[in-house]
Amino acid sequence: MTALPACGSPVPELPTTEHRADLGTVLKEWGRIGCVGFGGPPAHIALFRKLCVDDRKWLDAQEFEDAIAACNLLPGPASTQLAIFCAWRVRGRAGALAGGAAFILPGLIAILALAALFLSDPPTWVKAAGAGAGAAVAAIALQAGAGLVPAGWRRAPQQSHRVRWAVYLVLGAVAAATVGPWLVLLLITCGLAEILAQRLPATGRRPASAVPLLAAAGLGGGVLLPLAWTALKVGALSYGGGFVIIPLMQADAVGQHHWMTAAQFLNAVALGQITPGPVVHTVAVVGYAAAGLGGGLLAAAVAFSPSFTFILVGADRFDRLRGNRRVRAFLDGAGPAAIGAILGSAVPLIRALSEPWQYAVLAGAAVLTLGLRRGPVLTLLTAAAAGVIVVLAGGHLPQ
């Protein structure tokens, strides 16, 4: 996650939007990045910086850095919000809608096509590839979390603050490993605890109670309402990177609603890593397993709608939000808890493995990601190839 400016530092004003390109250009360029955006948020940020700052000069460097920091203040997929935010800067609200959709759709189409293949009755080699790639997902989660630790630690300058930072990290890891559905409450609790620890006075209106929303989630029947609720939690309540949502999705899709098996869920997470776009695309596979193509499209639409809403409604207010001391204190607590949750998400992913050879693949993937620092796409493709070789040589497929 990109580092935020320190508390008390001056906050640059985010300039108002103006039409800097036509809609056709936005559709073309954002769609191109959506097609080639393998590698997660770091790759997406680099591609948008090259397009908007270096090549087209639609934004200056400071404006782009401010946009990254602003998007990191919001829950949900930060790189998707950055795509929408940059399109808003370039072409206003119409550009935000067009650019965001163009960035999301290529990966969504790819992952739904792969979901149809992996969740039907695929040939043995496809099942083996999925089992191999799924075995490596926990190593990808560990790499994602470990990569965020150094920068987060540096942002906790005082010794007392670092002690609290470590406590929040451990709490997040334990929560992700044990009580996935309640992880969001833990993140909120850590944020509020840090506000109290920094002794910042309460100002403004209190946030609305979540009880009515939680109660509404239990109303209705069938598959679509619980699926929409799961997708909404993924898109609106996650913070700190895509892997924070994995325990939550796994608890809903596998444990509570039984839309898919543990092995199929591992495949879904792997597909979210090897297709372009954010990890949140994984929720489309969950939706496909629950209710076919319509379920996949519904889950994606609900999961991404908060990102559009946050940007379209709040973009003009981001400069004031970034300067709010209480917001920063909340993130000082929720941030390390989210990093811990990413690390802890590896535990339920490991528990989902069932064949001995999958643990060997996981160990090899850990060497690639944590030892040799290879990226997720190469690691998952290597693990998929290993799965095919093992199964064709007589190894058992997970049930």
| DSSP string computed for 94-141 | HHHHHHHHHHHHHHHHHHHHHHHHHSS---HHHHHHHHHHHHHHHHHH
**Do the Cβ atoms of 72 and 78 come closer than 8 Å?**
yes
pTM for the model stands at 0.75
Average predicted confidence (pLDDT) for the chain: 84
User: Given pLDDT bands bounded at 50, 70 and 90, which one contains residue 386?
Assistant: very high
Question: Structural domain boundaries of the chain?
Answer: 23-105, 110-307+318-392
> What's the CA gap between 85 and 69, in Å, rounded?
11
Q: Helix, strand or coil for residue 83?
A: helix
| DSSP string computed for 334-354 | HHHHHHHHHHHTHHHHHHT--
Residue 18's pLDDT is what? 59
User: Given pLDDT bands bounded at 50, 70 and 90, which one contains residue 4?
Assistant: very low
CA distances from 339 to 8, 97, 101, 342 (A): 24, 30, 28, 5
Query: What torsion do the CA atoms of 330, 72, 88, 103 make, to the nearest 10 degrees?
Result: -140
Q: Which residue reads 């939706």 in tokens?
A: 287
Which residue, 282, 217, 295, 284, is CA-closest to 256?
A: 217
**pLDDT for 88 beyond 80:** yes
